[in-house]
Amino acid sequence: MLAAALRCIYTISLYLALPFLLLRLWWLGRSQPGYRARIGERFGHAPARAGPTPLIWLHAVSVGEVQASLPLVAGLRRRMPAHRLLVTTTTATGAEHAQRLFGAEVSHAWFPYDTPDAVARFLRRTRPALLMLMETELWPNLLRACARRRIPSVLVNARLSERSRRRYTRLRPLVAAMLRDLAGVAAQSEADAERFRTLGMPPARTRVIGSLKFDVRLAEDLPARIEAARRDCGPGRPAWIAASTHEGEEEQVLAAHARVCGELPSALLLLAPRHPVRARQVAEIIDRHGFSFRWRSAGEHCEPGTQVYLIDTLGELIPFYGAADAAFVGGSLVAVGGHNLLEPAAVSRPIVSGPHLFNFAGIGERMRAAGALSVVGDAAMLAAEIAALLRDPAACRRRGEAARSVVDQYSGAAERLLRWLEEILAGGSAHHCR
């Protein structure tokens, strides 16, 4: 009863918020027109599925989740060729990245608002055989609707930090009801699985699969793209990358770069903000620090006097990780929780991070244990660590190789997950709709 009451309050609040959500889409659409496209899909008006071909629905919120889903999508297309695949995203950058990665072979739609009518309309038009939600995407009305229609839903690559678990505990009856509606939770680690169990997830439907992020798929043309990125940076220069940075972080990164340049005057910083839409704001910060810089999106190449290369494009992060000698992964000097440490590891680069790694705690621990990751607390520590790495190419190679060994050691989550999904589709899960 309490769960139903909380779901009712949630639903009423969501309906009241719809005008503001639409206003937000219009506002975001000023700089990213994708937000104003196909708005009807947000209300469930997705393209109707034609014919009897069964459909699998994967929801990946934004760029990070889309990138992490790549080995899963490849596996689904290989092992379940009779099924069509629909990927939904919430952000415009996620939509662009999905369409760039998967092309026309995978359909894309906007994720519907979690109102009963929008969800019912979306499910009626797409008729999925299976729903997969990436990481921590729990939506009460969607999960209830799927359970009632006997559509199995699985939380894949699932993670739950201790901080999030405490926050969910305040709404435990509603959260427990959502978890009971799931056919399964494919957790990244035992710690994640246990947190889901304490919130009410049935143990029989919880499995530790590992992180899909370890199954980094490197494009066949990646060596050529890395070489092209190196040429754009300028040959023979010590270079480091600060990737996926957030507001409040670029100031610290640039302060660190000033110190690095004091020791290594030819050093180059590749600065890649998490959201390219912030590029103009980041450019103003670079300008205030007095650095000479070039824009990647303008097709500009670095000259000998260029001190910062602003990587304001999508889909090029891994090649520029490969072009750098050392990598700082952002979202970690500010309390965002960190970003994907495994992309620089996949191209054998030593990794530096700030202390806020709660979204990647398990991966961070493995990287630190292997000697691949160092954690710094401020700009001065970041500068010291980067300068030490740039002065010592042999140490860069050792730590980069250690990072790659962690990726190799823990890969295989996609295949484990695909086997379980086949069981669920065949009716072999313990899930039952209430």
Which candidate, 306, 131, 153, places its Cα nearest to that of 232? 306
Q: Which amino acid type is present at position 333?
A: L
CA distance 7 to 264: 58
Predicted local confidence at residue 429, as pLDDT:
44
Q: Is the pLDDT reported for residue 63 higher than 80?
A: yes
Residues in the chain: 434
Average of per-residue pLDDT values in the chain: 93
Which residues, other chains included, contact 335 with Cβ-Cβ below 8 Å and sequence gap of 6+?
A: 356
Q: Are 52 and 123 in contact (CB under 8 A)?
A: no
Q: Rounded to an integer, what distance in angstroms lies between the CA atom of residue 394 and that of residue 63?
A: 33
Assigned token pair, 39: 């708005």
Q: Flag whether pLDDT at 249 surpasses 80.
A: yes
Question: What region does 154 belong to: left with phi over 0, alpha with psi -120 to 50, or beta?
Answer: beta
| Averaged pLDDT, 225-233 | 94
Per-residue pLDDT at 391 exceeds 50: yes
Higher pLDDT, 126 or 236: 126
> What are the tokens at 251?
């100031």
Which region among 26-30, 143-147, 253-257 has the lowest average model confidence (pLDDT)? 26-30
Can you give the pLDDT at residue 77? 92
- Give the pLDDT of residue 76: 94
> What pLDDT score does 23 carry?
95
- Asked whether 312 and 276 are in contact (CB, 8 A), the reply is yes
The answer to whether residue 323 scores a pLDDT higher than 70 is: yes
Task: Give 351-373 pLDDT, tens digit per residue.
Answer: 999 999 988 888 899 999 999 99
Average pLDDT over residues 81-87: 93
Instruction: Break the chain down into helix, strand, coil percent, rounded to 5.
Output: 50, 15, 35
Which of 121, 127, 122, 124 lies closest to 109, judged by CA? 122
The single residue listed with the structure tokens 């103009």 is 280
Give the domains, in start order, of the chain with CATH numbers: 32-46+54-215+412-425 (3.40.50.11720), 222-410 (3.40.50.2000)
Band the pLDDT of 105: cuts 50, 70, 90.
confident
Average pLDDT over residues 18-37: 92
Quick one: pLDDT at residue 154? 97
Dist CA 294 CA 307 (whole Å): 8
Distance separating alpha carbons of residues 1 and 43, to the nearest angstrom: 28
Q: Is the pLDDT of residue 20 over 70?
A: yes
Residue 434 has pLDDT above 70, yes or no: no
Q: Which residues are catalytic?
A: 65
pLDDT of residue 285: 97
Q: Say if residue 129's pLDDT is above 90.
A: yes
- Residue 177 tokens, joined: 């009801």
- pLDDT band with cut points at 50, 70 and 90 for residue 187: very high
pLDDT value at residue 141: 97
